[in-house]
Structure 1
Amino acid sequence: MAFNVLKSGMLALVQDLGRHGYQHLGVTTGGPMDELAFRWANALLDNPDNSAQIEITFGMFTLEAQAPTSIALTGANLGATLNDRPILPWQTHAIQKGDILQFKQPSHGLRAYLAVKGGFDVAPILGSVATVMRESLGGQTGKGHKLQKGDVLPYTATSKHDQKIVPRIAIPNYDSKDIAVVMGYQFDTFSGLDRARFFGSEFTVTPQSDRMGYRMSGQAINGNKKGIISEGIAYGSVQIPNDGQPIILLRDRQTIGGYPKIGCVTSFSGGLLSQKQPGDTIGFQCVSVDQAERERHLQLARIAQWR
């Protein structure tokens, strides 16, 4: 009653909604890079919101089912096939014993989410199964390892399957370049020219981007402060280091930092950003806290209503 990993791919991680309540000890939250896609995958299967899933980055990942179940795929289109037959994301699929589920390279987006009916049976560490590799915490082994060939992912077998599809209106547009940013309390330390450059220019995702943070390349933003006393780091914080190139801190971010922050990417836009590949371009869009909260409430209410 498990999936056997036949091919590990570039990066496949066990994730739930994250490890909360330990940042004061230096332990980051982890969790899914694209929270909206993660939540929809569990909703499709009527799983609890926090049920463990697999986050698959860039594909090249292959599993073999050892028992029947029902799965949901959301997030990026990684060219998934079931027994060599193409299947689409943002819907459920029936799985039989011996089925081969394969993910190829991205055709749209970067990260896909694989949920199984009832969730994967993985032991939590500090209340969560979220895998944070740099902290050697969570995941299938409990030590922060990415999934490897030969790993076994247990689940509760079921022959019941309900065909469900996410409404088109709820599926994010991963081609969008607009990344919403709420102004931070250090916003006023940046000149009018730097603010105009930040919100009026396009930036390119660099190859140095990962789950910890996305590094951007574009017109340099030069704040009046070159450093600050280290302080807590919120999800989505947009740090401006000495070279003026923004760094957006995401799920596996450090818990404290000392660079000035021009603002904070919203949770929804952070998910959009996490679907960008190196070389993709984005633009920052200023929104208010009220706008950001309304967007999040809308997305969560849409899932709750659909359930």
Structure 2
Amino acid sequence: MITPGWFTIIQDRGRKGAQRAGLTEGGAADEHAYLWANKLLDNPMNAACLEVLMGNFEAVLSADALLSVTGADLEFSINGQPAENWSTHPVQAGDRIEFRRPLNGLRAYLGVAGGWLTPELFSSRSVVTREGLGGLDGGPLREHDELPFGPQQATFRRQLAPRYIPDYSSPLTLRLVPCYQHDLFSPQDRRRFSSEEYRISQRIDRMGYRLEGPVITPEVGGIISEGIALGAVQVPRDGQPIVLLRDRQTIGGYPKIGCVSSLGCSQLAQRGPGAPIQFEFVTLESVQAERLLFNRFFAASQWHSSGEELVWP
């Protein structure tokens, strides 16, 4: 590792079932881009990838490998030459890879055939810095770190079709299931929340995104602490919503107006301060159907023998 970047961490799909032990789930902030990084390589869906925040990353390969790059456009290059995003790239020992600066989105995912082979803790390689778990030492990569991986001789090239690639600069409407303490908010506040625009504030991280916009106020200022799901939208006393993401706390006592779909959370994690956000109340059944189709696609689709398109068995 030459330059580790602003905040580059190992992530997989997270520590499933660990919240009962008080451990944060973690996992890739943009699960959609993360899964494509593995799909392009025929990796297991839970193989570890590097999550690179906003670039400023440079490294040299210690062995031949097959890489994939997905997610934000951070000006990826190989030996100083621009390289395609949402693609695979055969590289050789001594090749230099680099992410420079964000052009569209915040987080890029760098996969390697076979996955990055850092130690597993509680059945996951995901880094949660607040708990000091995952990766090499429980934190982001540092200068001179060496990441283990299995050398590969594969040289196939794949480029994802444009229809699968999201535009992280487009307006974002988040699908929200009206659950938790939804009934503690007045009909006027619910209408305001789902019809007016919010903006992402400067206070964002993997734990949650604090928004700025119309104030909404629940009938009570606090509740007995309860378990927190991915996408829960809690409303503290200032009336400004917070969407809780992968590194959220395991329990919390602020009222919550609902829960953003997991796929919506992936899209939110690619937006930066100032980006406009709107909410749309939807049914639990519609969100479940969307997620089941998403899971089915990644689990069952296979690459055509040409390597240029996906087919369903």
- Is the TM value for this pair above 0.5? yes
- Out of 162, 168, 174, the residue aligned to residue 156 of structure 2 is 162
Q: CA-atom RMSD, angstroms?
A: 1.1
- Tell me the alpha carbon deviations over residues 8-33 of structure 1, each in whole angstroms, 9 at most, x when there is no partner: 11100011110122212210100000
CA separation in 1, counterparts of 2:66 and 2:223?
50
Matched, 1:21 2:41: no
Question: How far is 1:105 from its partner?
Answer: 1.0
CA separation in 2, counterparts of 1:176 and 1:41?
24
Give the share of equivalent positions with the same residue, in percent. Answer: 44
Cα pair 2:172 2:277 within 8 Å, conserved: yes
Question: How far is 1:296 from its partner?
Answer: 1.5
Cα pair 1:77 1:88 within 8 Å, conserved: no
- Tell me the alpha carbon deviations over residues 201-226 of structure 1, each in whole angstroms, 9 at most, x when there is no partner: 11111111100000001111111121
Identify the residue that residue 41 of structure 1 maps to in structure 2: 37
Matched, 1:295 2:295: no
- Out of 78, 81, 86, the residue aligned to residue 82 of structure 1 is 78
CA separation in 2, counterparts of 1:173 and 1:106?
13
Matched to 2:248, the amino acid is R
Report SS of the residue matched to 2:259: strand
CA separation in 1, counterparts of 2:297 and 2:164?
8
Matched, 1:173 2:167: yes
Matched to 2:245, the amino acid is L
Aligned length: 301
- Tell me the alpha carbon deviations over residues 43-90 of structure 1, each in whole angstroms, 9 at most, x when there is no partner: 110011111110001111111111111101111111111111111211
CA separation in 2, counterparts of 1:18 and 1:224?
35
- Out of 189, 194, 202, the residue aligned to residue 197 of structure 2 is 202
Identify the residue that residue 128 of structure 1 maps to in structure 2: 124
Q: TM-score, normalised by structure 1?
A: 0.95
- Out of 30, 45, 50, the residue aligned to residue 46 of structure 2 is 50
Identify the residue that residue 67 of structure 1 maps to in structure 2: 63
Report SS of the residue matched to 1:290: helix
Structure 2: tracts of 5 or more residues without a match: 304-313
Report 1:150-299 matches (<5 A). 150-174=144-168, 175-299=170-294
CA separation in 2, counterparts of 1:274 and 1:87?
23
Distance 1:171 1:299, change over 3 A: farther
Question: How far is 1:160 from its partner?
Answer: 1.3
Matched to 2:134, the amino acid is G
Matched to 1:48, the amino acid is P
Cα pair 2:4 2:141 within 8 Å, conserved: yes
Report SS of the residue matched to 2:268: helix
Distance 1:56 1:176, change over 3 A: same
Q: TM-score, normalised by structure 2?
A: 0.94
Structure 1: tracts of 5 or more residues without a match: none
CA separation in 1, counterparts of 2:294 and 2:278?
22
